[in-house]
Amino acid sequence: MKIALAQLNYHVGNFESNTTKIISHIHQAKQQGADLIVFAELCVCGYPSRDFLEFKEFIGLCEEAAKKIAAECHGIACIIGLPTYNHRPAGKELNNSAYFIENGEVKAVVNKALLPNYDIFDEYRYFEPSTTFKCIDFKGHRIALTICEDLWNTIDNPLYMTRPMDVLIKEKPDVMINIAASPFSYNHDEERIDILGDNASRYKLPLLYVNQVGAQTELIFDGGSLVFDNQGRLIDELPYFKEAVTYYDLETKSDLKPLQPATIQKERQRNIEQIHQALILGIKDYFYKSGFKSAILGLSGGIDSAVVCALACEALGPQNVMAVLLPSRFSSEHSIGDAEDLVKNLGCKSETIPIRHVTEAFENTLHPQFQNLPFNIAEENIQSRTRAVILMAMCNKFGYILLNTSNKSEAAVGYGTLYGDMCGGISVIGDVYKTQVFELARYLNREREIIPENTIAKPPSAELRPNQKDTDSLPEYDILDPILMQYIENRCSSGEIIKMGYDEQTVRRVLRLVNMAEHKRYQTPPILRVSPKAFGMGRRMPIVGKYLS
């Protein structure tokens, strides 16, 4: 039996595009002599569809798309993912399902049993878990078909009470096929390989795993579909961050082989390389799937805006990026020069709009209300909000999308201005710590100098008052970021972090800043997720909570 794995980029709710793409690949696989082509979890509607799933019309469009796909599926079988109605009298209204289609008909329906309900996942909000499991017979082979999380309960601390494969193995299948929508984080590829390889060796069956690729707002899917032999050895690994179709021949459960040169990575990519690729894909898909072409950002001469500008130029093309220099009376000459050098290196469009007269107009207008009180954060934030007003005006006039340039360290401790530098349509590096931003800058400069060396070397500063440095308000980033990571990613308490050797006063201050800034993060744009725990849909904290404040 010749099996094709189709690792494709889908668009949530774009039934015409998704259906056309699936049908096109069915025809291509048939021409290549495939007996079966396998697509990803919920490929028909895109993942995650979230509350679109609460609309009956949406589910109806899924079924209409499945019928169109089935009508084209002759001389070849396919596996597709879609939401279906739960016809049992009790439970949630929907199932997360896979259709096995052959000769124009749905020959089998498999429903997902283990529904993740943690971090970014909320599948139990919509779907009823399956409690029955049955293999599929096709071309003299018996297939154990599962959906994503159904194979993830082999960890030391199981999240669920059952393992679907423990039931399916009793029917003596020849092969496991798993369709998935598994989002990217920089440590997730190795975890996937370990868990899926464990399944193949545990059940002594070859395993074909297909993941989707592409970004859906803040979630990025990296592909990296995997194939294992019946001993749990990895025999093929599809590319990361791009579409791919590969073919395999299955004779017996001990004889599965790729029909093209295998592409197993000899060395795992470094975290920063993966983050770079993920952010490029995230920017591309956010613009393409939203119907926009051009980005705008404020370019300060600092490292954050420089990195975001470079990423945007790589993702969208420099001709589609407008960098706006917005110097104030506190902007240093070297920062303006660094920003101008970056524009030259990238070849993007640029404008320079000094804001001094605008901010002075605000200050003069507010002079009676400010009652001769000394210059403080109020005047600092007027500068930041003035920049935002100008950038958003240009968005309205010319149809740009504003890129937010705040990093994760700043977002964590609230080191940013609401309705100022925290505004934007998408946050590019909001899940990248400041120390990682420096790494990313070095990586962007791996072949030639893109980010000016002075931008990387100089002490970070918001330049909202004379001689300002980030360290006036925050610990050094190489101290701050590890504390933040222990608290945010690893969910360690202040006491646990202090026991690791960090200064007690610093730890308690940092955690207090994080919790006090929750109201700010609640109002920020979507953040491209690259870590195991990003701000946004995967981290839900009360704004007025007292714990750890």
Q: What are the structural domain ranges in the chain?
A: 2-263, 273-470
Alpha-carbon distance of 399 to 392, in angstroms, equals: 10
Tokens of 388: 């935002």
Catalytic pick among 45, 73, 148, 309: 148
Active site residue 112: yes
Cβ atoms 404, 423 nearer than 8 A? yes
Catalytic pick among 21, 62, 73, 112: 112
Q: Which ranges constitute the DSSP H helices of 172-221?
A: 188-203
Active site residue 360: no
Query: Taking Cα atoms as reference points, which of 159, 239, 242, 165 lies closest to residue 196?
Result: 165
Pairing type for strands 207-211 and 226-228 reads antiparallel
Q: H-helix or E-strand containing 365?
A: helix 356-370
Architecture of domain 273-470: 3-Layer(aba) Sandwich (3.40)
- CA within 13 Å, CB half, 25: 27
Cβ atoms 516, 549 nearer than 8 A? yes
Provide the angle, in degrees to the nearest 10, between the axes of the packed helices 504-516 and 477-488: 60
Cβ atoms 390, 324 nearer than 8 A? yes
476-514: pLDDT as tens digits: 999 999 999 999 999 999 999 999 999 999 999 999 999
End-to-end CA distance of the chain: 60
Catalytic pick among 21, 30, 41, 43: 41
Alpha-carbon distance of 242 to 14, in angstroms, equals: 19
pLDDT score at 459: 83
Architecture of domain 2-263: 4-Layer Sandwich (3.60)
Burial of 81 (C-beta count, 10 Å sphere; 0-12/13-18/19+): buried
Burial of 135 (C-beta count, 10 Å sphere; 0-12/13-18/19+): buried
Cβ atoms 113, 150 nearer than 8 A? yes
Query: Taking Cα atoms as reference points, which of 153, 26, 161, 28 lies closest to residue 99?
Result: 26
Cβ atoms 531, 282 nearer than 8 A? no
pLDDT score at 493: 94
Active site residue 410: no
The pTM (predicted TM-score) of the whole model is: 0.95
Query: Taking Cα atoms as reference points, which of 217, 396, 399 lies closest to residue 295?
Result: 399
344-392: pLDDT as tens digits: 999 999 999 999 999 999 999 999 999 999 999 899 999 999 999 999 9
| DSSP label of 127 | B
Tokens of 90: 């009790």
Report how far apart, in Å, the C-alpha atoms of 35 and of each of 2, 28, 211, 433, 491 are: 5, 12, 20, 47, 47
Sites in the chain below the pLDDT cut of 50: none
pLDDT score at 549: 55
